[in-house]
Amino acid sequence: MLARLVPVVCTFLNPLIGTVGVPLRVFTLWNAVGALLWGTGVVLLGYYLGQIDVIGKNLEVVAALVVLISVLPIAREVLKQGRKAGTAPPVRTRCRTCLPPGREAPP
């Protein structure tokens, strides 16, 4: 059910579930439950949030905030993995004790 929150994961989850060998009955049951809860939840949330004047008048801003909040955990993980691999830009710091041996603090 949580895979429905992240579009890329939602796309690739079904073949993965089949590859892992989850029984069809279990997969179908939880896929249907997730679809029902997700569809109903999104419609009800949209209806009730649309009743609030501030949100109704600034729908574009609210939608942009929702997208930004949704992407933040993914961006955080990408940056974290990049730092582990040494491909992400280094974090600037003036703390000399925080730097790895052989590196100097930037000016």
Distance CA 64, CA 82 (A): 26
Per-residue pLDDT tens digits of the chain, which is 107 residues long:
566 666 667 777 778 877 888 888 988 898 888 888 888 988 998 889 888 888 878 888 888 888 888 888 888 888 888 777 665 555 555 555 555 666 665 65
Residue 99 is given by DSSP the state: S
Token pair for residue 49?
A: 């949030």
Residue 94 is given by DSSP the state: -
What does the pLDDT read at residue 3?
66
What does the pLDDT read at residue 83?
72
